[in-house]
Structure 1
Amino acid sequence: MKKVYFIGAGPGDPDLITIKGKKIIDESDVIIYAGSLVNEQVLQGRKEESVVYNSASMTLEEVIEVMNKSIKEGKKVARVHTGDPSIYGAIREQIDALEKLGIDSEVIPGVSSFVASAAAIKKEFTLPNVSQTVICTRLEGRTKVPERESLESLASHKASMAIFLSVNMIDQVADRLKEHYSESTPIAVIQKASWEDQKIVIGNLSNIAEKVKAEGINKTAQILVGGFLGDEYELSKLYDKNFSHGYRSAK
C-alpha cells in the first residue's frame, strides 16, 4: 500500500521547497495543499492528470476521506503544508487518523517562516553572549496557549523569540513583552517572508505597533524580538585563532 507524504512547502519562495518535497509533488496522483498559505507555484510541474484539492475549505474529515480513498485506489498522495509542517501544521491529528485506517505516512521537512524571516533581515538567532536559545511561540487566540507558556513567562528568559500568528495583536504583544524587555529592545516584523511582496518593519517595543499598523500588516507575518537583532555580541569561538578544536589547533 502506498503512503501519504506530508510536505513542508517552505515559507513562500517556490525555490525554497526541498528537492525531495518537490519531486514527490511532481510524481503524486493526488495533491492536497493548504491553499490559504502555500504558494501555488510549488505545484507547477505536477502531472497533468493529478487531482488537486485546496484544504482551505475542507474539514479534517474531508481531508482524511480523500486520502483514504486515494490510497485504497493505489494512488500516491502529497499533503502540502506551508513552512515546516511540524510547527503549527496540525499534522498530528491527520497522521493519527491515517494510522487508525492502517495508512502509513512520511513527513518531509521544510523551511519555516521564522528562519526565512531571520534570513530576510540577515540576522542570526544564536549570537555568542547574547542568546543561545530560540523560543517559537504565539499569543492565545481561538487556539489556547497553556498558562505556563504565557508570553510574559517566556520573555523572562530574554532568549531570541519568534512569535507566530500574532501580528493582528501587535499592541498586546509589545505591551506584554515590556514586562521583561526594555522599550528600546529591537523588534522586527516580516510579512510573507521570501515572497515577492515581502514586507519588513524594524523598530523597538515602543514604536513597533504604530509602524506595523502604518504598513497595514495584520496577518501572515513573523514577529522577531530580542538582543540578537542588535549590534553588540562576541565573536564566535568556532573561528577564533586562539581556540582549538578537533579540526584546528590554536595558533
Structure 2
Amino acid sequence: MDNSQRPQVYFIGAGPGDPELITLKGINAIKRCRTVIYAGSLVAPEILDHCIAGAAIHNSASMNLEQIIAVMVAATGEGHSVARLHTGDPSLYGAIQEQMAELDQRDIAYSVIPGVTAVFAAAAALRTELTAPEQSQTLVISRIAGRTPVPEDEEVARLACHGGTFCFYLSVNRFGEIARQFLDQGWSPQTPVAMVYRASWPDELMRRGTLADMAGQIAESGVNKHAVVIIGKPLGAIGAYSKLYDRDFSHGTRP
C-alpha cells in the first residue's frame, strides 16, 4: 500500500483565526478524516464544521503529547486518517517536530499542509508590506525567552544588532524588555511599532506607536497574550517604490 492509500496524519495549518484563512487543501483533508485533533480555542470553531458526520473530535488544549499520539495510533490502527489542526502555520511554534518523531518511530505516515501565520494576518490588517524597498528586505520572526528558552545567539539584544523588520510572537506581555534592548542597540525611539491582538478574529485589536511608547499602549490596552508585535521602518511612511513595476526598469518579461 502506497502513502496515498495508507491512513495518515495530516498536520494542517488552520490559519490565524478567520475561518476562511485555511487552505482548500486543508479543508479537503479534514473532510477525509474520521478523527480530528484541534488546538482548542486557538482554532476557529467554524473550521470544525468541515468535519464529516460522526467524526471523533478531540480538543488538544488539555492533552499531553502521549495522549495525542495515542489517539493518532488508535485511529490509524483502525484504518482512519487523522486531521491534526494547528493554529496559524504548523511550522512556526507548532510543536509538530516531536509529534512527527513519535509517528516515525511507529511507521505512521504523515504530511504537513501549510497555513497562514499570524504575522501575515497582522500585516494584512495593518495594510503594510513587511519587506519594503530601501527600508527592509529582511523579516525576523522570534520570541523573547520565557519558560521556553531561546538559544543564546538568538537573544533579543543580538537580533537587534541587525536591520530589518522584526516580528515577536508570544512576547507581548514583555514588550518593555524588547524595546529596551532595541534602544540599547542604537535603534531610534521613533522606530515604528505595531501590536495586533488576535489578528483576523472578530475581536482583533491594533495599536500603532513607536519603540518609545508602545509598552505603555500595550499596558493600557490590557493585552497580555495572543498578539504579535512588529518593529520596523515599513510600518511608517512609504519609502521608495519597487522597481518591479517601474516603467524604466526592464526584466525578463518586459523590455
Q: Same fold (TM over 0.5)?
A: yes
Name the SS of the counterpart of 1:105 in structure 2: strand
Q: Using the alignment, how far apart are the partners of 1:114 and 1:193 within structure 2?
A: 8
Matches within 5 A, 1:121-140: 121-140=126-145
Structure 1: state its 5+ residue gaps: none
**Distance of 2:19 and 2:31 partners within structure 1:** 13
* One of 145, 156, 162 as aligned partner of 2:161: 156
Give deviations 1:50-100, integer Å, cap 9, x for gaps. 010010100001000100010000012000000000000000100010010
Identity percentage of aligned residues = 45
1:118 maps to what in 2? Answer: 123
RMSD between superposed Cα atoms in Å: 0.9
Alpha-carbon distance in structure 1 between the residues aligned to 2:238 and 2:59: 46
Cα offset, 1:179, TM superposition: 1.9
Work out the CA distance in 2 between the residues paired with 1:188 and 1:155: 17
Q: Which runs of 5+ in 2 are unaligned?
A: 1-5
The letter of the residue matching 2:78 is: E
For residues 149-198 of structure 1, give each alpha carbon's deviation from its aligned partner in whole angstroms, at most 9, with x where no partner exists: 01111111121011000001121122122123111111000000000000
* 2:41 counterpart SS class: coil
1:223 aligns with 2:206: no
Q: Contact between 1:11 and 1:112, CA under 8 Å: does it hold in 2? A: yes
Map of 1:186 onto structure 2: 192
Correspondent of 2:35 among 26, 30, 38: 30
What residue in structure 2 maps to residue 235 of structure 1? Answer: 241
Whether the 8 Å CA contact 1:26–1:43 is kept in 2: the answer is no
Give the SS at the match of 1:27: coil
- Normalising to structure 1: TM-score of the pair? 0.97
- Counterpart in the other structure of 1:207: 213
Report the number of matched residues. 249
For residues 36 and 94 of structure 1, the distance between their equivalents in structure 2, rounded to whole angstroms, comes to 20
Q: Deviations over 1:95-154 (max 9, x none)?
A: 010010000100000000011111110011111111111000000001000110011111
Residue equivalent to 1:3:
8
Aligned twin of 2:53: 48
